[in-house]
Structure 1
């Protein structure tokens, strides 16, 4: 790992967020490998990552069809300005039959002056190029207005508004036969699974999910359900992390809680490195006397970064653990390690900024395919939460030497305009600030005060169930 917070170019100062992403990018590039794949039924594919190129075996839609209920006809059967005929806003055609969804018309092609009843999704009959919706139609017979059948007449209103090709879906307009429908690395969202189903695929090749080992540290940390001792706190971090990981399709190895004992932490790190693709801890990475994770990492791996100029989340450790077992999954013999801060909001914010992009890179997701040639801060940043520019609804304060991430909600001001407001108290231990958050308000380094009414960047947390 050539780049780290201990690199001479950085000295002893804290790294910026972008510099930390560069450290991650260079370090992860050294352990990149193509994940193993397996075939699964399409019903089990949501939340997985596609491991094959999908070539469409058919046109989608398979045939040119109607987008509305109504009649199919040739637009040339209707008068227009170029025909030289006196223009009228209605005309009358003969109805020769019906084309229904799943029951296409198999008779002769439509001739001039003829139309055919058609339902949404039904194949367009030969000779037709346009569909007129039901609301513009009246069916007539010798007895007057009736429900309609072959041999009837149909009166079309609003003829001058009808365009050739309207309300028609062309065969292959979504996906053409023989074209690439999806590439390896596609996150299989509900929409993606729907596209695969529309191609008739019953199963698909996906990458096997990563396995991530998680444990919390600290003598004061107590598992929920147990009696809380004097000075104790319940272990919120591990449960938040496990939920975040599982939401990304990660298999979790939950190693529980370790006390403030360097030997125990070192043994746990060594064991986890032989069983997981990544190891994450929370707590034990600051400068307190009982913070043993950093020193334990030095005994069984290499520390690449430690302090970042951000709030919350300054004491974040990242490095590589040595996987000494012959059965270790990492082909490089190194397993990425994240030591996240102990405060619960800092744990979640640093996960979103750094761990989540790293997981997406290592899981083979699409937008980072180029990272095989060397991951970068820019590449990793693609997998952070989407950024939007909004207007601050209140004055926000920070320290100029760091990036500050306030938890925010989008509300309407008294003029009915969208603005972003904080969720209330912003301490790194106030986990309810994350419960209420729709976004992270990003106050950049160098900005000590951002006034109400000024533009501000936010990281949106509403997509893909990030929190």
Structure 2
């Protein structure tokens, strides 16, 4: 069964970039905010901007292990400078007396009176313990100034920031123990098709194991979503209507997967017409043409619905290039643009009529510059190539792939965050 078909509603196919723009233009944060301890915040999304409480660094400090000194003393004391204090990190230094220097370590505060740190590799200690430097000493060299990174009350992290390890470290460096985050997004997953059975059950003739459920459950959990799994829905209008009503009432976003054909078992149009609206259907991409976007109406705020194709590779690709960014925006996150770079094709292939094709490819590690080769079979149900692929070679419609020519490469590594 198809989760979308609306050729009479939306003539033709939507360009992939346009579909992504339309999705993101329609997305907005769907959950309230809540207070969260920092140690429970990995993977959460900031709901409010955070400003710095402390300057960073909090004081002028040394960027190197070496010797802190006054440059003018190098000319007035050509026989070397005695070391009169030792300054480790966390120590409060004394005033640097004229004609002397201080042994200093990385991160230690600069003593008043010093205007330079000379790395220990450029220093020589004579028999009397005096320091002689090699090369030129420049004012401010190897000194990290107070507030060099940011000052008090400067913007630290914006709302929509994913709280990954570096962001958490930044907050901890400010002494912050609690932040305001968006509540976890609840996503209902609906699998459609009489041909589907769950792994572990016996297969009857013509039946298939439901691989999309395992895949999308993992992908949604990677995005820190709370999953509402509604299982497999029968190919009937009544069954689909009941499932979508349950999904609408229990989740912030609904994702359904199903067949791609338009036929008598395609019930989404009449069901969605009664429960909401279909905004667009059909994207000029291969795999993934049947992708659909709609809304389920309810008394307090509509619930967005993403219709992914039933073939597992098509479902994966449309999730990565369209669905994931939409879900992130609904979480309050700021989705990144698709990261693309040019590569050379290490193979030739016929054109696809009228649709941008995303070929599953691997980077050839034996080549000095980026060259890609097919990861395996390119059918929209062939998961083996998807498991091996480093990314997608994005080929414009009606454009053959010619070995040695440049094309756009889309790395799948970007979808892991």
1:348 aligns to 2:316 (yes or no) = yes
- Selected match of 1:108 from 95, 98, 106: 95
- Does 202-211 or 15-24 show the bigger shift? 15-24
1:465 aligns to 2:416 (yes or no) = yes
Structure 1 residue aligned with 2:405: 454
Structure 2 residue aligned with 1:440: 392
Distance 2:17 2:51 in 1: 38
The DSSP-based 3-state class of the residue aligned with 1:138 is: strand
> 1:23: how far off?
4.5
1:306 aligns to 2:281 (yes or no) = yes
Structure 2 residue aligned with 1:24: 23
1:185 aligns to 2:185 (yes or no) = no
Unmatched tracts of structure 2, length 5 or more? none
> 1:115: how far off?
1.0
Q: 1:95 touches 1:153 (CA, 8 Å); kept in 2? A: yes
Q: 2:29 touches 2:331 (CA, 8 Å); kept in 1? A: no
Distance 1:458 1:306 in 2: 25
Structure 1 residue aligned with 2:363: 410
Distance 2:309 2:79 in 1: 75
- Does 123-132 or 286-295 show the bigger shift? 286-295
> 1:96: how far off?
0.7
Aligned length: 413
Distance 2:203 2:8 in 1: 43
- Does 258-267 or 274-283 show the bigger shift? 258-267
- Does 391-400 or 126-135 show the bigger shift? 391-400
Unmatched tracts of structure 1, length 5 or more? 143-151, 325-330, 367-381
Superposition map of 1:198-213 within 5 A: 198-213=173-188
Structure 2 residue aligned with 1:371: none
Distance 1:171 1:275, change over 3 A: same
Distance 1:190 1:464 in 2: 17
Distance 2:103 2:349 in 1: 62
Distance 1:126 1:304 in 2: 66
- Selected match of 1:419 from 371, 390, 398: 371
Q: 1:285 touches 1:293 (CA, 8 Å); kept in 2? A: no
> 1:314: how far off?
1.0
> 1:304: how far off?
2.0
Structure 1 residue aligned with 2:86: 98
The DSSP-based 3-state class of the residue aligned with 1:450 is: coil
Scaled by the length of structure 2, the TM-score of the pair is 0.91
- Selected match of 1:159 from 113, 117, 135: 135
- Selected match of 1:71 from 67, 71, 91: 67
Scaled by the length of structure 1, the TM-score of the pair is 0.82
- Selected match of 1:231 from 173, 189, 206: 206
The DSSP-based 3-state class of the residue aligned with 1:286 is: coil
> 1:294: how far off?
4.0
Structure 2 residue aligned with 1:125: 111
> For residues 123-154 of structure 1, what are the alpha-carbon distances to aligned partners after superposition, in whole Å with 9 as ceiling and x for unaligned?
11111122222222333344xxxxxxxxx312
Structure 2 residue aligned with 1:389: 342
Q: 1:356 touches 1:383 (CA, 8 Å); kept in 2? A: no
